[in-house]
Structure 1
């Protein structure tokens, strides 16, 4: 796989874009400040647990699973580990990674930006999950990130994606006393982007979700259960 040319431009078999124009400032710092308050604000994760179970049941015990934007490790890294899989989680927030190590000491957790997966030393995985991590990217970067995930998964392995349904691009919102920037799609557009990245959508679920925190608005959560097209 190819990587950077030294100037922030990435060139892969699936296209290129100039990363120098992407503003990632403040995103990791916000989640460092939020820490374990994230789990307090989102105590009911039935959709995420169901989607994680779908993937866990598809894979034989001992499979290697990539958790993109692993957060606190709860519930997903813990769930997949308890199901007998070997989890590698990546995140840009050192505070979240510390919580992952505490909550799931059996896992491997690395400070890696998902946009750097192409140039990382990680070997392909049997499956992957990306729960609400792609929404932290600007729209121009999301197709690129999905295609990199395609390269990180073996054969016809599964990928589960969770996004918030919203027609926004790199939009600033208040979030647990901090400001983060998020992107989203309406569901037909999300299906198209995922399909164009080389995945077949096997099934999907949608949940109306009202977080426990009053400064985080209600949302529609979309869960896409996908298989990689070799």
Structure 2
């Protein structure tokens, strides 16, 4: 997909982020109280670390507070760049992972010709960040990830399995809008964006808060198809 093609696709959408960043700004470190265990996320990051030489550039897309992923990657000797829509999350990440660089930006800003040019990466992680987008944007975001990757680059993705589109849910005292796919549909969307799926795993997760329901988490380990 050319840069002009991506621009045309986004031009037909109204990017509505109302309340999304503000919800996470308000949460701060309470996010970790609700989601204290991140076994799937840690394992997927370990796969990247084992697959990449030290010094590789890795983008943490939707980095949150920087924990555990940006810190895990930085300690492994990777050059880490984090991006998040929430200024509050970015501030926490900068304080907690000083060895990485963090930017407050929307994934739409990273597309070809977008407002932020961060260069190319050897790997991208997007743990539970694309689910914050409406379904119409998720294929565009995946194409943006492919654009950001060098040929053969690695991509670790996680989503919650759910057949919903821009659906409002309570979330740790706030409300957010989320999207999801059933497992087979997620595979299809990811492959159509130009990725080969190397491995898949799933975890049943029960958050440590009453207003977030138990969820089936899907982790895909992918490689950019060239």
> Scaled by the length of structure 2, what TM-score is found?
0.95
Residues in 1 aligned to 2:209 and 2:12: alpha-carbon distance in whole angstroms? 34
Q: Please tell me whether residue 124 in structure 1 is matched to residue 120 in structure 2.
A: yes
Structure 1 unaligned regions, length at least 5: 4-10
Instruction: Find the aligned partners of 1:88 and 1:222 in 2 and give their Cα distance.
Output: 24
May I ask how many residue pairs the two structures share in their alignment?
222
| Distance in 1 separating the partners of 2:6 and 2:38 | 35
Deviations 1:109-149 (CA, angstroms, capped at 9, x unpaired) = 00110111011221010100000000000000000000010
Q: Distance in 2 between matches of 1:193 and 1:155?
A: 20
Quick check: 2:205–2:214 contact (8 Å CA) kept in 1? Answer: yes
1:22 and 1:139 map into 2 onto residues whose CA distance is 12
Match of 1:31 among 24, 30, 36: 24
Whether the 8 Å CA contact 2:6–2:140 is kept in 1: the answer is no
d(CA) in 1 for partners of 2:73, 2:10: 33
Alignment correspondent of 1:8: none
2:3 corresponding residue in structure 1: 2
1:134-213 matches, cutoff 5 A: 134-213=130-209
Equivalent residue in structure 1 for 2:214, among 209, 218, 221 = 218
Deviation of 1:155 after TM superposition, in Å, equals 1.1
Note the alpha carbon deviations across 1:136-185, whole angstroms, 9 max, x for none: 00000000000010000001011000000000000000000000000000
Change over 3 Å in CA distance of 1:42–1:19 after alignment to 2: farther
**Compared CA separation, residues 173 and 140, structure 1 to 2 (3 A):** same
Please identify runs of 4+ aligned residues in structure 1 that moved more than 4 A: none
- Taking a change above 3 Å as real, the CA distance of residues 21 and 201 of structure 1, as seen in their structure-2 partners, is same
Contact 2:55 2:79 in 1 (8 A): yes
Superposed CA offset, 1:180-221 (max 9, x none): 000000000000000000000000100000000111100000
Q: What is the RMSD computed on CA atoms of the aligned residues?
A: 1.3
State the secondary structure of the residue aligned to 1:72: coil
Q: Which residue of 2 aligns with 1:228?
A: 224
